[in-house]
């Protein structure tokens, strides 16, 4: 499986689906003002009484070949955002601009199912739970080969050869291809999931908590595998995770979400050394470090209260009820916009440039 075998772009796209060149020139995927609300229904007629604002105006971009981390606590909308990008959910609004291999830009949010098909080959997903994301009634050869069969890329002996090649590449023995998922451990199943995602030579892979369910020693194997595959196939990753130490290790840039909104987006080094949003600062300081000598030196910010309910978000900045720096006026009444405070460092906070927040990595340590 080599790069040149990759199918180039799509042929079926009508010209009107190609938007102008308004996308960031360095980006491969750019999401603008993405919104996804889920209705809350109640009563006999199941009328919509409220909306859960799972994703509420998210802006981010991914450059080719990089790993962008999307982090936040449960319910912050990171998984929903990922699913909107592959159009597993129909977003309520916003643009999902994707650069095709021929350089043209297409807005995935506007496409119908038929015209989306070629992009489903180029954007693949790896899921968290390798126990529930693989059909237990299918042997590995079908699990990994099915996408190729569906897309009519290979069949028969050729298909088996390519499955064997993929399995070898992700560190599994091809002899096991007739076995069913139950015969594999969690780490091996995750490798099967990765092989399946790679079977169509994707350009962008969305890893949704891909290593969260794994034991520490196995997690390290999978992280290293993802890195190797990225090098070999020039993959771009959107790495959705809640574990910040993993994100710090694997991501080039990190986007932080809080209650459906993006609060900060910066390079990993900058975000961990000099966060500019109070939520990022608190989140970083809350992660227990695997070094007992650090426990007394570290200044830990323990946030009051709980994550806001996305069905009843607070006014102004969603973080203001828990924010130690809230001013009680503009933070309560005005929603801060995401703005670029320094090159490629985006923050949504009224006081981003006035506060001096502390990170968890000394800036001097970083290259």
Partner 1 sequence: MSNSDLLLEVRDLKTQFFTEDGIVRAVDGVSFEMKRGETLGIVGESGCGKSVTARSILQILDHPGRIVNGQILFHRVSRENGSEVRETLDLVALGARGPEIRDVRGKDIAMIFQEPMTSLSPIHTIGNQIIEAIRLHLPVSKYEARERAVELLRRVGIPRPEERMDTYTFQLSGGMRQRAMIAMALSCSPSLLIADEPTTALDVTTQAQILDLMRELKDDMGMSIVLITHDLGVVAEMADDVVVMYLGIVAEKGGVVDVFHDAHHPYTRALLRSIPKYGLRAAGQRLDSIRGMVPDPYSRPEGCPYYPRCDDMLPGKCDRISPPSFQIGPGRVVRCHLYEGHEVADPMPSNPAENT
User: Contact positions toward partner 1, by CB under 8 A?
Assistant: 73-74, 185, 187-188, 215-221, 223-224, 227, 242, 244-246, 248-250, 268-269, 272, 282-283, 285-295, 300, 302-303, 306-307, 360-361, 365-367
In the chain, DSSP assigns E strands to 18-19, 29-42, 47-62, 67-71, 93-99, 105-107, 123-126, 204-208, 236-241, 253-258, 261-267, 339-342, 345-347
- 87 exposed, middle or buried (CB, 10 Å; 0-12, 13-18, 19+)? middle
CB neighbour list of residue 15: distance below 8 Å, 6 or more residues apart:
none
Closer of 53 and 219 to partner 1 (Cβ): 219
Closer of 111 and 308 to partner 1 (Cβ): 308
280 in Cβ contact with 266 (< 8 Å):
no
Closer of 135 and 224 to partner 1 (Cβ): 224
Closer of 168 and 300 to partner 1 (Cβ): 300
Count of CB atoms within 10 A of residue 201's CB?
Answer: 19
Distance of closest approach, residue 186 Cβ to partner 1, in angstroms: 8
Distance of closest approach, residue 99 Cβ to partner 1, in angstroms: 27
350 in Cβ contact with 330 (< 8 Å):
yes
Closer of 66 and 95 to partner 1 (Cβ): 66
Rounded CA separation 29/125 (Å): 15
Distance of closest approach, residue 155 Cβ to partner 1, in angstroms: 33
Closer of 175 and 291 to partner 1 (Cβ): 291
Residue with the two structure tokens 């139950």: 182
- Helix %, strand %, coil % of the chain (to 5): 35, 20, 45
Closer of 63 and 242 to partner 1 (Cβ): 242
Is the sign of the CA dihedral 146, 148, 153, 154 positive or negative? negative
CB-side neighbour CA atoms (13 Å) of 260: 22
Whole-angstrom CA distances from 61 to 69, 93, 255 are 11, 17, 10
Count of CB atoms within 10 A of residue 200's CB?
Answer: 19
Closer of 34 and 283 to partner 1 (Cβ): 283
Rg value, the chain, Cα: 22
Distance of closest approach, residue 291 Cβ to partner 1, in angstroms: 6
Distance of closest approach, residue 189 Cβ to partner 1, in angstroms: 11
Distance of closest approach, residue 62 Cβ to partner 1, in angstroms: 18
Distance of closest approach, residue 366 Cβ to partner 1, in angstroms: 5
Distance of closest approach, residue 339 Cβ to partner 1, in angstroms: 25
């Amino acid at each position: 499986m080599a790069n040149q075998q990759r199918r180039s772009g799509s042929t079926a796209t009508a010209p009107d689906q190609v938007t102008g060149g308004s996308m960031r020139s360095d980006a491969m995927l750019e999401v603008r003002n993405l919104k996804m609300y889920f209705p809350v229904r109640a009563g006999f007629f199941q009328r919509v009484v409220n909306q859960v604002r799972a994703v509420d105006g998210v802006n981010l971009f991914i450059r080719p070949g990089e790993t962008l981390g999307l982090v936040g606590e449960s319910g912050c909308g990171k998984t929903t955002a990922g699913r909107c990008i592959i159009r597993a959910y129909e977003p309520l609004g916003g643009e999902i601009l994707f650069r095709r291999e021929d350089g043209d830009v297409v807005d995935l949010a506007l496409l119908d199912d038929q015209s989306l098909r070629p992009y489903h080959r180029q954007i693949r997903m790896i899921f968290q739970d390798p126990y529930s994301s693989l059909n237990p009634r299918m042997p590995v050869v079908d699990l990994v080969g099915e996408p190729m069969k569906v897309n009519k890329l290979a069949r028969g002996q050729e298909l088996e050869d390519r499955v064997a090649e993929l399995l070898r590449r992700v560190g599994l023995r091809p002899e096991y291809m007739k076995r069913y998922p139950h015969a594999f451990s969690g780490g091996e199943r995750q490798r099967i999931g990765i092989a399946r995602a790679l079977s169509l030579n994707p350009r962008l892979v969305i890893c949704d908590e891909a290593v969260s369910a794994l034991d520490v020693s196995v997690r390290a194997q999978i992280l290293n595998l993802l890195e190797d595959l990225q090098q070999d196939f020039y993959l771009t990753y959107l790495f959705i995770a809640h574990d910040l130490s993993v994100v710090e290790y694997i991501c080039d840039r990190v986007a932080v979400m809080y209650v459906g909104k993006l609060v900060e987006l910066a390079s990993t080094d900058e975000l961990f050394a000099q966060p500019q949003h109070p939520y990022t600062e608190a989140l970083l300081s809350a992660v227990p470090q695997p070094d007992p000598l650090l426990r007394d030196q570290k200044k830990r910010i323990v946030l009051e209260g709980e994550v806001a309910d996305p069905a009843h978000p607070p006014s102004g900045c969603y973080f203001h009820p828990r924010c130690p720096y809230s001013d009680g006026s503009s933070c309560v009444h005005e929603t801060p916009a995401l703005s670029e405070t320094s090159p490629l460092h985006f923050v949504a906070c009224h006081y981003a440039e006035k506060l001096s927040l502390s990170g968890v990595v000394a800036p001097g340590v970083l290259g």
